[in-house]
Chain A
């Protein structure tokens, strides 16, 4: 699941290391997806199911609609963050590659 990018070991580190992009699992994607789905469902609910009874509960605010919009915004931020700054794990080179004997 992790692609290895062995071509760019860090120059200044004391041990040779390499950066691995952690492909599939990034909790930010999970947070973005769950909050985003919640946002979409609440938004739709706010658009189609807002009635007097709900209005009485919330004091006249279409709460589902606004909470839905807020959550979609938060979700987009998380997904963008995960996209723009992907997870990288620094691992010692000898774990990333097979160790060369006689180095």
Chain B
């Protein structure tokens, strides 16, 4: 990330440091108080399945509201404008609703402790091992990337050396997770959510005021002499998808981003699903992603809009964007990039005080991301790798200890990953893309597993391996220039290929191998699960705003409305 080369110093004063320090005090305080009551491994890893839905719902989106989201989405907003909204309205909300309505009953109802464990119950150890190992490796890696971005911000804003920033940040995350387990991570994610909103909302409002309000912003963007008014329409989003043809662009966004990529990510990623599994009952578990979907819908207004404001208000960014389209070499020589959008806007419009709060909000976002990765990693490592394949049948407190140790090891590895990320940023990008390819075939395998009782264990792991393999092949072909798709086109195609290959392989192999006896599939496959197993007994009598299906429909209507209003 070019964040490295730029020197954007924010003029932080003692009051800003005070606000930042206050935030860290609270983060540690939450870890300290949440630790009371952690006496068994289920409490450490799944919060004893006791949390209310609004808490898990906010944690659900906060776990994803990390470095990549805030810096990346504001950068994309500065570059392309409204089409960036697709990452939220098409690329997240439908999949979150689908998770809550369709898939969560199986995850929560089967009493599994992790997503890979569901894989094991349904398809045995072959597919489980593939899933558990790839997930654990990806989490440590992504934790490292998040930590690196966090360290870079601290280094740039406060002037601390990178390695000091890395160790301090890792130590803070480590201390609250080892103390309080998942509860501490989740409670902190909720706290972080509010700090992030408190940081970004004033930034957006003041920024809007500076450019003459909403109308002023639109007028300036339409007249920017580059992409112009195209940036004020979400559809067809040709710049974003990289397809020249508007019809292809819409298809690419809806199927590539909206279906394959986003369903793969949101419905199988244990980092997210773990938040819902910590809920107190089935209805809360299903409501978790649905409640999360409501704020998620409006987050683009405090993330993407500031990026767009920066692109017309802050001189460096205005110049950079113009050079980017006219003279790319000169643009690179300026030393800034779209990734700096939110920092530049903070520097130019926030008074001291709010500035400190905004820095705290950014730090909160980076830590939320890392903490989420680490807390999902330690669960999968303890239950799915250690307990399953290495040391079986020990008492519960043994696995609690393993989990705490795994947390420490994960943080240490993350520090080293972060140092590597600093030196080989391209390598890290490739690896991240690669791990993304595991998601699309996972989704295909899960959906066939949940709805087709004939799907067999052999088919599952063969499907996963060939699906992921075909994504990698498409990716290599596009990297070497055999397939020429600009923008996000290659990623969409790789994920779609993985999805289709997985389904085809699974169907063919399943029809030639012996399925598991149906008695074993209760709670795992739709047709073999009695309705009473997956619905709370009092679900029908609950008020409408506590029922998953009506609320999901309401959310869907809202998001379609947003798509029409900003089309």
Task: Judge whether B350 and A57 touch: CB under 8 Å.
Answer: yes
In the complex, which residue of chain B has the Cβ closest to the Cβ of A89? B50
A70→B55 CA distance, assembly (Å): 22
Task: Judge whether A54 and B352 touch: CB under 8 Å.
Answer: yes
Interface residues of A in 1-57 (CB under 8 A from B): 1, 24-25, 27, 30-31, 33-35, 37-38, 41-42, 45-46, 49-50, 54, 57
Interface residues of B in 15-66 (CB under 8 A from A): 15, 18-19, 22-23, 26, 29-30, 33-34, 36-37, 50, 55
Q: Known interface pairs A63-B350, A64-B353. Does A38 touch B33 (Cβ–Cβ under 8 Å)? A: no
In the complex, which residue of chain B has the Cβ closest to the Cβ of A39? B198
Is B450's beta carbon under 8 Å from chain A?
no
- Residues of the B chain whose Cβ atoms lie less than 8 Å from the Cβ of A57: 348-351
Task: Judge whether A58 and B352 touch: CB under 8 Å.
Answer: no
Q: Known interface pairs A38-B22, A41-B18. Does A59 touch B353 (Cβ–Cβ under 8 Å)? A: no
A57→B352 CA distance, assembly (Å): 10
Q: Known interface pairs A30-B187, A63-B354. Does A58 touch B26 (Cβ–Cβ under 8 Å)? A: no
A24→B50 CA distance, assembly (Å): 16
Is B190's beta carbon under 8 Å from chain A?
yes
Interface of A is mostly: helix
Task: Judge whether B198 and A71 touch: CB under 8 Å.
Answer: yes
Task: Judge whether B30 and A42 touch: CB under 8 Å.
Answer: no
A62→B407 CA distance, assembly (Å): 44
Task: Judge whether B190 and A64 touch: CB under 8 Å.
Answer: no
Binds A, one of B202-210, B229-237, B385-393: B202-210
Is A61's beta carbon under 8 Å from chain B?
yes
Is B195's beta carbon under 8 Å from chain A?
yes
Is A67's beta carbon under 8 Å from chain B?
yes
Mark B161-196 against chain A: 1 for CB-CB distance below 8 A, else 0.
000000000000000000000000001001100110
Q: How far is the CB of A48 from chain B (nearest CB, A)?
A: 11
Task: Judge whether A42 and B36 touch: CB under 8 Å.
Answer: no
Task: Judge whether A42 and B354 touch: CB under 8 Å.
Answer: yes
- Residues of the A chain whose Cβ atoms lie less than 8 Å from the Cβ of B351: 45, 50, 54, 57-58, 63-64
Task: Judge whether A27 and B349 touch: CB under 8 Å.
Answer: no
Interface residues of B in 423-463 (CB under 8 A from A): none
- Residues of the A chain whose Cβ atoms lie less than 8 Å from the Cβ of B22: 34, 37-38
Is B312's beta carbon under 8 Å from chain A?
no
Chain A interface residues (CB < 8 Å from chain B): 1, 24-25, 27, 30-31, 33-35, 37-38, 41-42, 45-46, 49-50, 54, 57-59, 61, 63-64, 67, 71, 74, 89
Nearest 5 CB-CB pairs, A to B?
A54-B351, A45-B353, A64-B353, A59-B210, A67-B202
Chain B interface residues (CB < 8 Å from chain A): 15, 18-19, 22-23, 26, 29-30, 33-34, 36-37, 50, 55, 187, 190-191, 194-195, 198, 202, 206, 209-210, 348-354, 357
